[in-house]
Structure 1
Amino acid sequence: MPTSGVWYPGLFSACCFSRPAWFPWKKAKNRCRWRFPAGKGEWRITPTSNRLKSGRQEIYNRTTIVLRKDTFMDVRIFRTHETRKRLYVPSAWDFALGPSEKYPVPLDVPGGPIDISGGQKPPPFKGDEPTALPREYPHKMAVPGVWEVTEIGRFHRGRAYYRTEFQLEKRSRVRLYFGGVSHTAWVYLDGKLLARHYNAFTAFDAVSEPLDPGTHTVELEVSNGYSPESTLHVPQDYFNYGGIVRPVVFELVPEVHIDRVEAQTLELRDDAALVKLAVILKNCGETRASTPVEAVIPEAALRVDMGAASVPAGGESRVEREIRLPEPRIWRMFDGRMYTVRVSTPDDDLIERFGVRTVAVRGTEILLNGEPIRLWGFNRHEDHPQFGCALPLEVQQQDIRILLESGANFLRTSHYPNDPRTLDMCDELGILVWEESHQRGLRFFDGEYRPNMGSMGRPNFLPQAIDCHREMLAQHYNHPSIIIWGHMNECEEDNERGEAVFRKLYEELRRDGSRPVTHASCYPWKGRALKLGDILSINAYLGWYQSDYEHWSRWIDALLPYGEEKLGVTARPFIMSEFGGGAIPGYSSAHLAKWSEEYQAALLDSSIRQFIAHPRVNGMAIWQFCDVRVDDFVAMGRPRTMNNKGVVDEYRRPKLSFAVVKEHYTGLKQEYLARRR
C-alpha cells in the first residue's frame, strides 16, 4: 500500500496489494490466466471466461486486475527495446511548490496593451525563465500525475519542482525521456540545466554526457502559469493542468543511437505492398561515426540490410529502403492488423509497429485503401476528476472500451496530440483518428480583453505552434489509425492576417504528405482558410448556440454552394467536426429544457439522423465523449465549471444520450461489416 505522505492516483482500478482477503484466490486459480511479462514490472490476472469472439477487441472487454511491481513506466503498450537498458524510475518523486503566477496575467504592460497587430515584442517576462531550485522538497508527488488533484497543489498555478535519482553501475550516457510535462519544463541533471521544453502534449528527450558510476540527481522545474510567452497554453474551455503528465523513461544509450523509425505505404495491392522504411540515428559524440543498420519484420519473415549510416557529430542521419511485402496484412477499419519492425545496430535497437494502408482524398470522398469511408465518432479530451490529464492506462483502456461499445469508428483528439498508448489501442482495433496539433480558439488582439486574446500575434506563437506540429508528426507518424492531421481549432481566420498564419501552418502540416490535412472551423460563412485544407471541417451547434436542430439538412445545403462560390472552397469531403449540446448529469425535464439529459438526447438523435441521410456528409464527431473540467474564466457559462456536452459524465457514467448515439453508431457499424463480408 502507499507509504505515508505519498499521493498515488489510479488505486480505484490498479489494485496495489499483496494477497488481499477479499479476492477469491482458490476459485480464480482455475479460471484465470496468470502471466508475468519480462521487464514489465507487473503481474496480471485475467479471467478467461466470457470472452468476445472479436480478436483484438477481447482484451478491452474483460476485467484485468493489475498487481503492480514498481519498476518501469511503459510509454507504449508493447515492448520497444530488447538490448537497450532501462533504469529504474520511481512512481513518486520529491516535490515542492514554487511561486504562484496570478492568472490571467494582465497584458496592460507599461506603455499600454501589447499591440499585436503591429508586431510589438512584449517586454521580458519572468515566466519564461527558470528560477533557483529549492533546497528542500517537503512532499511526494505521483509521476505521472498533476498537482491540482492533490491537497498539496489544488489551487496552484505557477512553478513547482520535482526531484528523483538514478544509479549507474558503469560510465554511461543516459537518455532522459519525458512523455509530457505541462506545460513548460526545465530539466536539470546533477544541478546543471540539460533541456527546456514547451507544450504539455508532445514528448521530449535529452541525452547526457558520459556520467560516472554512482548516484545522479534529476530535477525538473515545471510551470503551468499563464504569461505572454505562453501562446498555446492559455485559459481555455478545458483545464490546463500542471505536472509531469505522461510516463518518464531513463535509459542507457550509446554515442550513436537510434532515434526513431518511419514506415510509409507507397503502393498497395492485395498480393503485395511497397513500404518505405526509414531509420533516423543521432550522434552525441564529437566526431562523425558510422554504423551498420539492420531491420527485421517477423510477420513477413524479412531481414533487411539498411546499409551503413554515417552520422555527423552532434547531428542525425537517415537511411532508407523500399521493402516489398508479399500478401500483406492490410490495416482496415475495425481490423487493426499490424507489422512489427525491429531495427538494430551493433550497440542499439528500437522496436516499432506500423500498418499497411493508404489514405487519400478523391473529390468529395475520403479513401481508405482506395475505398470510400464514412466517419462516425467523438471528440475526446484527456481529463478525469481523479487524474486530471494524466490518465493512467486503465482509464485510457476504459475510454476505448466505451467507444467500442457505442459502435463508433472515429476519434478526434481535441485539441492536442494524445497519449501514444491511446493511439496504440486505436491501431490494434482499427479505430480511425484525427490527430490534432495544440492550438485552440486563439485570436489576434482586437482591443477587447479576453484571456486568449493576442496569442496569434505574439512573437512566440508561430515558433511554438510549428514546434508542436513537427513533434506531433515525428512522434506519431507510424500510427496507422491516424488518417487525418488537424490543427488550429476555431482560431481566427476571417481576415487577411489570420489566413496568412493558417497558410504557414498548413505548410508545416503537409510535411508528412501521407495523410490529408484539415482544421475545424467556427467560421463557416467567412473563413478565409477553409479553402486551404483537404477536407472541409465545420464546428456548429444548431439547437444549442444557433437555430433549431431540425434544420441541419437545409443548413448544409446552403453552406456548401456558398463556400464554393464565395470562399473558394471547391468540392471536397465534408465533416461535421463538432456538434451537440450540454446535459447536466441527472437533470431531467419533461418539456425538453436545455441542460436536461432528455434535450441532449433529442438533439443528438435528430442531428445524427440528418447527417446519416445527407449524401455530402462524410463524417461526424459529437462534442463530446465525456464531460471535462474547464478554466474558471468560462465558469459562468459552464455549470459545475465543466463542459457538460459529454454523452458520458466525467466519471464515464452514461447519460440518456449514450443509448441514442449507440443505436445510430452500431447500425452504421453493422452496415459496414455486412458490406465487408
Structure 2
Amino acid sequence: MLVSTSGLTPRLTHGLLASALLLSTAAFGQVLRPAGSGEVDTTATQTATFTQGTTVLEGADRRPQTSLDGAWHSIADPYFTGLYNFHHEMKKDGWFKNEHWAGIGDNRLLEYDFAKSPTLNVPGDWNTQRDSLFLYEGAVWYQRDFTWHNTTGKRTFLHVGAANYRSWFWVNGQKVCQHEGGFTTFDCDVTAALKDGSNFIVAAVNNQRLPEGVPTLETDWWNYGGLTRSLALVEVPEAFITGYDLHLDRATRTHIEGWVQVANAHAGEEVGVSLPELHATTMAKVDADGHAAISFTPKNLKLWSPGKPVLYKVDLTAGNDAIHEEMGFKTIETRGTQILVNGDPIYLRGISIHAEAPYRTGRANTQKDMDTLLGWARELGCNYVRLAHYPHDEKMTRTADRLGILVWSEIPTYWAIQFDNPIVLAKAKQQLNEEISRDRNKVSIGLWSIANETPATEARTKFLTALAEETRRLDKERLVTAALLVRDGDKSKHEKVVDDKLGQALDVIGMNEYVGWYEGKPETADLMQWTVAYQKPVIVSEFGGEGPAGVHGTADQRWTEEYVANLYTHNLKMLAAIPQVRGMSPWLLMDFRSPSRQMPGMQDYFNRKGLISEKGQKKLAFGVLQNAYRSGYGNAGSK
C-alpha cells in the first residue's frame, strides 16, 4: 500500500491520510504550511499536516538502490537556528541552501558551512558516535554530496529506513518531504529536485520528546537520535508497483490470494505474479484505480512454520516494472485458547528484544546486529520473538523470515500517551500504516501489537480499539495483540486478575508481570493464583529481573545473577499452571541503554534485565530458560 500525499494513494487507504496527517506542531510554536512554501502561521493552538510528501514504497529493499550510507557532514543545532529566525519563523534561506564560505574576502553573512563541519556515519544514532551528543536531544543537520544521472521516463524516491523523531529533507535546496515517527520507513519523491550530475541532500532531524508524540515523554529506552537506518535512492518506471499483499487462504492452505497496486496504470493493463520454483504464474488486470486482485493455487506449495522456514522467489511484474521478492506462506489464527499455525496448535517459546546493537551499543541497524540478536534467540531455543517497543529495522524481519522465527511487531503506543487527543490517534494510525505497509508480506510476522502497559481508562480503551480495527482493515491475516497490565484481586489469596476491557478487541491477550522483582520475592510466585477473564490465548509478554553480568551472590540477594535465575525458576513454574498461556517472551534478551536506570555500579544507564549483557556475556538465567525451552516447556499447554 502506498501512503501518500502526492496523488498516489490507492483504494486501500480509505481516506486515512486525511486524518493521519493532521499532526500537531504546537511544541515548535508554529504551524507549517505545505512542504516548500516557506510560510508560517504562528498560531500555536492550530494543527497542521506535519508529515508531508511521504509514501511507503513497498518492496523498496527489493529494488535496485543507490546507497546514500556513509559519512555525512553534520551540525548540532539545539536552538534550530538553521531553520527558524529569532521570531521563530521559518527561514527562506536556511541551512538547507547548503551555502559555502570561501574565507576572508567572502563578505556574505554565513554562520554555518557543512563542508567545514565534522561527520556522522549514516545509518547511525548520533548519541554513540560523539561524546558531546550522548545525552543530546534536539536538532542535528546532515548533508552529503552525490552524483546522479537522470533516466528518461523514470521516477526517483529517497528511501529513508528511519529518522528519529521528526525529520525534514531537501534536495539541491528544494524541500521534498517531512516526516514524524522515529521507527518507520518512508519514501519521498525527489524526481523533480534532482539534477543530472552533482547533487546534494540536506536533512534536519529533531529527536526532542513531545507530549503529543508517539511515543510520548516517558520511555524506558534510549532516545537515539538521527538517521538511524539506511538511506538510498530508488528508481522506478513512471507506472510502478506501489504495494502488494500475497497470503495463504486459511480455508484451503494451498490457495494464494491478495492484490497488487500499480500507480499510473491504465485500466486493463496486466500484472503478473509468479513462483518460478513451482512453475506457477498468474496474470490479472488492474481496474481504474490501478488495483488487481490475485488468486491462484500453485502445485506442491510447502508452508513456512517456526523452525521450518520455506521461502520462495516471487516475481511481481507490471509493464516495465518488476519486484523480485522472497516470501513464505503460512496461516495463523486462534481457536478458543489455542494459537494455530497452519492449523496446528503451537506454544510460543520466545524472548523480547530491543533494537540495541550488541557489543557497540546504539541503535541496531546492520545485518551483523540482526544475525547476532536472532542467533542468540535461536541458541536460547526460541521459535518466536517480541520486537519491542517499536518496529525494528527491516533487516530484522527479513532475517526472521529466513531463520523461521515468528515475530510480534509493535508500534510505540507506550505507557501514558495522550489517549484523549485525536491528533495523537492520527499519528498512531500513521505509524501503524507504515509498519504494516512495510512488513505485511514478511511471513515471520504473526502478531501486530498496538500497545504496551497502557492505563486502563475509557479514553485509552476507545483509542486502542480504534487501532485494533485499523489493524484488521490493513491486514486480516495476522493476530492483534497488546501487552496489558494485570491487577491485584483477592490479596489474601495472592490473586492476580487479567480482565482489562481492551481484551475484548484483541485476538491474543498479552500480559506483563514482574512477580519477584517489582513485587514480592521469587518464591512469591509459588503462591500466586491467576484469574483470566477471557477464553482467549494468553502470551506472557514480559517477566524478569535485573542484574549485571558477573555480579554473584546467593539466590536471595537482589541484583545478583543467582537471584534472577531463581526468579526465572519460580516464574516458569507459576506460568505453566495458567491454562490459557500459549507462549511467553521474558524481558529480555540483551541489556539496553535507558536514561532512567542510574544505579551506579549496577545499571549505569542500562536496563540490566537482559539474559545477555551488551558485551555478549550470558547470565545464569539464560541457562535456566534455555533448559526449559529445550526440554519442551509449554508443550502440554498447546494441546
Please report the TM-score for the alignment, with normalisation by the length of structure 2: 0.79
Offset, 1:585:
1.9
Superimposed CA distance per residue, residues 119-158 of structure 1 (whole angstroms, 9 cap, x where no aligned partner): xxxxx9999x997536412011111001101225223210
Counterpart in the other structure of 1:184? 166
Equivalent of residue 438 in structure 1, options 397, 412, 415 = 412
Distance 1:522 1:424 in 2: 31
Counterpart in the other structure of 1:381? 354
Equivalent of residue 328 in structure 1, options 283, 291, 301 = 301
Counterpart in the other structure of 2:522? 549
**One-letter code aligned to 2:139:** R
Matches within 5 A, 1:530-549: 530-549=503-522
Does the 8 Å CA contact 1:261/1:277 hold for their aligned counterparts?
yes
Superimposed CA distance per residue, residues 451-502 of structure 1 (whole angstroms, 9 cap, x where no aligned partner): xxxx333453111111111111111111111111112101122x22222112
SS of equivalent residue, structure 1 residue 319: strand
Distance 1:479 1:126, change over 3 A: farther
Counterpart in the other structure of 1:464? 427
Distance 1:187 1:552, change over 3 A: same
Distance 1:349 1:369, change over 3 A: same
Matches within 5 A, 1:392-403: 392-403=366-377
Matches within 5 A, 1:447-486: 455-486=418-449
Distance 1:79 1:297, change over 3 A: farther
Counterpart in the other structure of 2:146? 166
**1:337 matched to 2:310:** yes
Counterpart in the other structure of 2:568? 604
Counterpart in the other structure of 1:567? none
SS of equivalent residue, structure 1 residue 537: strand
Distance 1:504 1:77, change over 3 A: closer
**1:95 matched to 2:95:** no
**1:305 matched to 2:278:** no
Distance 1:461 1:77, change over 3 A: closer
**One-letter code aligned to 2:472:** R
Distance 1:299 1:126, change over 3 A: farther
**1:136 matched to 2:113:** yes
**One-letter code aligned to 2:167:** A
**1:514 matched to 2:477:** yes
Distance 1:552 1:477 in 2: 38
Equivalent of residue 208 in structure 2, options 221, 225, 246 = 225
Equivalent of residue 247 in structure 1, options 223, 230, 255 = 230
Distance 1:387 1:643, change over 3 A: closer
Distance 2:513 2:76 in 1: 41
Distance 1:482 1:437, change over 3 A: same
Q: CA RMSD in A?
A: 3.0
**One-letter code aligned to 1:157:** E
Offset, 1:318:
2.1
Distance 1:79 1:209, change over 3 A: closer
Distance 1:597 1:88, change over 3 A: closer
Superimposed CA distance per residue, residues 151-196 of structure 1 (whole angstroms, 9 cap, x where no aligned partner): 2522321001111233233355321101111111111111121111
Superimposed CA distance per residue, residues 318-372 of structure 1 (whole angstroms, 9 cap, x where no aligned partner): 2121010222111112001012211123322112232221111111111111111
Equivalent of residue 501 in structure 1, options 463, 468, 479 = 463
Does the 8 Å CA contact 1:297/1:342 hold for their aligned counterparts?
yes
Matches within 5 A, 1:348-427: 348-384=321-357, 386-427=360-401
Superimposed CA distance per residue, residues 359-401 of structure 1 (whole angstroms, 9 cap, x where no aligned partner): 1111111111111110111111001362411432112101111
Does the 8 Å CA contact 1:228/1:458 hold for their aligned counterparts?
no
**One-letter code aligned to 1:336:** P
**One-letter code aligned to 1:421:** K
Does the 8 Å CA contact 2:76/2:139 hold for their aligned counterparts?
yes
SS of equivalent residue, structure 1 residue 206: strand
Does the 8 Å CA contact 1:485/1:517 hold for their aligned counterparts?
yes
Does the 8 Å CA contact 1:366/1:573 hold for their aligned counterparts?
yes
Does the 8 Å CA contact 1:267/1:275 hold for their aligned counterparts?
no
Counterpart in the other structure of 2:616? 652
Counterpart in the other structure of 1:559? 531
Distance 1:159 1:365 in 2: 48
Distance 1:190 1:647, change over 3 A: same
**One-letter code aligned to 1:274:** H
Distance 1:131 1:646, change over 3 A: farther
Counterpart in the other structure of 1:205? 187
Matches within 5 A, 1:661-676: 661-668=625-632
Q: Which 4+ stretches in 1 moved above 6 angstroms?
A: 75-79, 124-127, 287-290, 669-672
Offset, 1:236:
1.2
Distance 1:257 1:387, change over 3 A: farther
SS of equivalent residue, structure 2 residue 199: strand
Distance 1:202 1:78 in 2: 13
**One-letter code aligned to 1:373:** I
Does the 8 Å CA contact 1:100/1:157 hold for their aligned counterparts?
no
Counterpart in the other structure of 2:16? none
Matches within 5 A, 1:273-312: 273-283=254-264, 291-308=269-286, 310=288
Does the 8 Å CA contact 1:146/1:387 hold for their aligned counterparts?
no
Does the 8 Å CA contact 1:97/1:161 hold for their aligned counterparts?
yes
Superimposed CA distance per residue, residues 545-590 of structure 1 (whole angstroms, 9 cap, x where no aligned partner): 12343454653x4322xxx3xxxxx311111111111112221112
**One-letter code aligned to 2:316:** V
Moved more, 92-101 or 618-627: 92-101
Counterpart in the other structure of 2:557? 593
SS of equivalent residue, structure 2 residue 334: strand
SS of equivalent residue, structure 2 residue 531: helix
Does the 8 Å CA contact 2:530/2:578 hold for their aligned counterparts?
no
SS of equivalent residue, structure 1 residue 464: helix
Distance 1:309 1:98, change over 3 A: farther
Task: List gaps (5 residues or longer) in structure 1.
Answer: 1-74, 102-123, 312-316, 444-454, 565-569
**One-letter code aligned to 1:381:** H
**One-letter code aligned to 2:628:** H
Distance 1:515 1:130, change over 3 A: farther
Offset, 1:206:
1.1
Distance 2:210 2:583 in 1: 37
Distance 1:155 1:100 in 2: 16
Offset, 1:224:
0.6
Task: List gaps (5 residues or longer) in structure 2.
Answer: 1-56, 81-86, 99-111, 488-496
Offset, 1:237:
0.7
Counterpart in the other structure of 1:67? none
Counterpart in the other structure of 1:146? 125
Counterpart in the other structure of 1:42? none
Please report the TM-score for the alignment, with normalisation by the length of structure 1: 0.75
Count how many residue pairs are aligned between Structure 1 and Structure 2. Answer: 542
Distance 1:547 1:375, change over 3 A: same
Matches within 5 A, 1:632-647: 632=596, 635=598, 639-647=603-611
Distance 1:254 1:643, change over 3 A: same
Offset, 1:594:
0.9
Distance 1:471 1:553 in 2: 43
Superimposed CA distance per residue, residues 81-100 of structure 1 (whole angstroms, 9 cap, x where no aligned partner): 3xxx5334241112111125
Distance 2:463 2:618 in 1: 40
Distance 1:130 1:587 in 2: 56
Superimposed CA distance per residue, residues 274-315 of structure 1 (whole angstroms, 9 cap, x where no aligned partner): 1113212224xxx9787432222112112222224645xxxx
Superimposed CA distance per residue, residues 409-450 of structure 1 (whole angstroms, 9 cap, x where no aligned partner): 11001111121211112112221111111221124xxxxxxx
Distance 2:302 2:347 in 1: 22
